[in-house]
Amino acid sequence: MSALPEHISLWAELADVDHELRHVDVGGVRTRVLRAGSGPDLILLHGTGGHLEAYARDIAGLAADFRVTAYDMVGHGWSDLPDKPYTIDVLSDHLLGLMDALGIGSAHLSGESLGGWVTAWTAAHHPDRVERLVLNTPGNITDKPEVMVRMRESTLAAVRDPSDETVRRRVEFLFHHKEMVTDELVNLRRAVYGRPGFLRAITNTLVLQDPEVRRDFAWRPAWVGRVTAPTLLLWTDHDPTGGLDEAELLLRWLPDARLHVITDAGHWPQWEKPGEFLRAHRDFLVLGKDPV
């Protein structure tokens, strides 16, 4: 009998952890939320065009130490898709509204890509709501035009034609080991992209790839320097959106930051290297030490 593969399905990852999946009203926005575990609050934020399943391989492990909340940001996943630009301040306000709705005064925040941008903005502008901060491959800190164009074009192509081929290409962009992209993961993303109104919603998200809109929220020392929460930068050696030179910028701008590099991974280390991802979170958030 052959050994089972390391990853079977989203359901198998959650099969042995008590959890709750429901929708929460956040200022009139029906917001899909998954919660598990007990302990200090930890909120997980996905990236552009994503959904809470981005953390499926991590929730059980994190739930051993935290009350974990993963959710679909406004305009994403199976949350509501109101017709307005989803700029960083809008996404941050939605996060704070969710915390209020769930009775969370302050929490650890861990955000990937766009989620990292949102968590950093929140920590800078609402420091009393953030305990510790993990910025996971936040991406394109220096506003490279070619990265913005690639992100916009690949995402729009997949939403306009949510076929297996175009969506698989978009999901594979996130991975260094593209063989880890399963049919289940592609079809889940196809279901999101095929939702009525999702093309309008993703267009409202991709305003952040417009240099004129982005200018008001771009990573800059003026606001990044206001982040008082101890911060862990989780980088990888194969992130297609930004290199270690950008991590070094954030290390200089952030008052209290340290860097941990996960090797042999792309833009989704939480999926490609879940063991190291979990250890880094436990070391930094529970034990209060730098990951090794």
292 pLDDT more than 80: no
Report pLDDT digits (tens) over 93-129: 999 999 999 999 999 999 999 999 999 999 999 999 9
Predicted pLDDT of residue 82: 98
Spatial CA neighbour of 289 closest among 188, 280, 233: 280
Report pLDDT digits (tens) over 124-161: 999 999 999 999 999 889 889 998 998 899 999 999 99
Give the residue-averaged pLDDT of 169-178: 96
Q: Are 158 and 170 in contact (CB under 8 A)?
A: yes
Q: Are 18 and 50 in contact (CB under 8 A)?
A: no
**pLDDT band at 274, cuts 50/70/90?**
very high
Report pLDDT digits (tens) over 195-243: 999 999 999 999 999 999 999 999 999 999 999 999 999 999 999 998 9
The one-letter code for the residue type at 27 is: G
Sign for the pseudo-dihedral over CA of 14, 15, 19, 21: positive
**pLDDT band at 5, cuts 50/70/90?**
confident
pTM of the model: 0.97
Distance (Å, whole) CA 280 – CA 292: 8
Instruction: Name the token pair of 186.
Output: 């592609």
Element (H, E) at 123: helix 114-125
Distance (Å, whole) CA 275 – CA 257: 22
Q: Which residues, other chains included, contact 103 with Cβ-Cβ below 8 Å and sequence gap of 6+?
A: none
Architecture of domain 10-286: 3-Layer(aba) Sandwich (3.40)
Distance (Å, whole) CA 198 – CA 2: 41
How many percent of the chain have pLDDT more than 70? 100
Angle separating helix axes 145-160 and 198-205, nearest 10 degrees: 170
Report pLDDT digits (tens) over 232-256: 999 999 999 989 999 999 999 999 9
Predicted pLDDT of residue 4: 86
